[in-house]
């Protein structure tokens, strides 16, 4: 295993951090906006009681990210939605370091272009802290997922947690990393 650095991480360190520092007049390039982690969440809803399907979804997420997701359980019961406190309701995992950069690289260069009628990701998905959330309608769009063995397609929420001072800085960081935003 020669190089343990991600292609995107090298790009960030050599180009993007310097560009952000000069663009936003940041004196120390270490203070430039950066992605600190990526959080993936998948609701499992009505299949929560089906252990085989839940394990298949967990296996799919592990293939996609290289990390095993944890099972999220309901904190409260909601009778209207047949949710019982303590029952599984979702899968979640947090990526950091090399796995985070590798996942983001794959998302930007392989997965998003594969989406049908894709015209770019939304410009309005930033929160006031500058974090970016993205919904993917089917987890089976990832190349690692074998459609013959995959669980039924499920939605996936991807949140990029960004250490920046404003959504503008976060957006510029993602643009420089290659995120395809829709044209306004």
pLDDT digits (tens, 9 = 90+) for 121-136: 888 899 999 999 999 9
| Secondary structure tally for the chain: helices H, strands E | 6, 5
Looking at every residue in the chain, the average pLDDT score rounds to 87
CA–CA separation, 139 vs 152, rounded Å? 9
pLDDT digits (tens, 9 = 90+) for 140-152: 888 888 877 777 7
CA–CA separation, 158 vs 125, rounded Å? 11
**Helical segments of the chain, H only:** 7-11, 17-23, 51-65, 97-106, 112-114, 167-177
CA–CA separation, 121 vs 44, rounded Å? 24
pLDDT of residue 1: 40
Assigned superfamily of 7-177: Ribosomal protein L5 (3.30.1440.10)
pLDDT of residue 26: 87
pLDDT digits (tens, 9 = 90+) for 24-80: 988 887 889 999 999 999 988 777 677 888 888 888 899 999 999 998 888 888 888
Q: What is the pTM of this model?
A: 0.88
Long-range contacts, stretch 143-146, CB < 8 angstroms, 24+ apart = 143/106, 143/110, 143/111, 144/60, 144/63, 144/64, 145/60, 145/63, 145/64
Sequence ranges of the domains in the chain: 7-177
**For the residues 79-93, what does the mean pLDDT come to?**
85
pLDDT of residue 95: 96
CA–CA separation, 122 vs 18, rounded Å? 26
């Amino acid at each position: 295993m020669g190089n343990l650095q991600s292609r995107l991480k090298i790009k960030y360190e050599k180009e993007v951090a310097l560009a952000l520092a000069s663009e936003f007049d940041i004196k120390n390039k270490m203070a430039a906006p950066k992605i600190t982690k990526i959080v993936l969440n998948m609701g499992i809803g009505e299949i929560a009681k089906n252990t085989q399907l839940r394990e298949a979804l967990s296996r799919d997420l592990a293939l996609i990210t290289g990390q095993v997701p944890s099972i999220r359980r309901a904190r409260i019961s909601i009778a209207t939605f047949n949710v019982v406190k303590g029952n599984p309701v979702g899968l979640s995992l947090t990526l950091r370091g090399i796995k985070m950069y590798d996942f983001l690289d794959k998302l930007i260069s392989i997965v998003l272009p594969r989406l049908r009628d894709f015209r770019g990701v939304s410009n309005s998905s930033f929160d006031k802290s500058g974090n970016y959330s993205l919904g993917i309608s089917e987890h089976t769009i990832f190349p690692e997922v074998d459609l013959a063995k995959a669980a039924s397609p499920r939605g996936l929420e991807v949140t990029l947690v960004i250490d920046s001072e404003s959504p503008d800085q976060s957006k510029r960081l993602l643009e420089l990393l290659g995120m395809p935003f829709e044209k306004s």
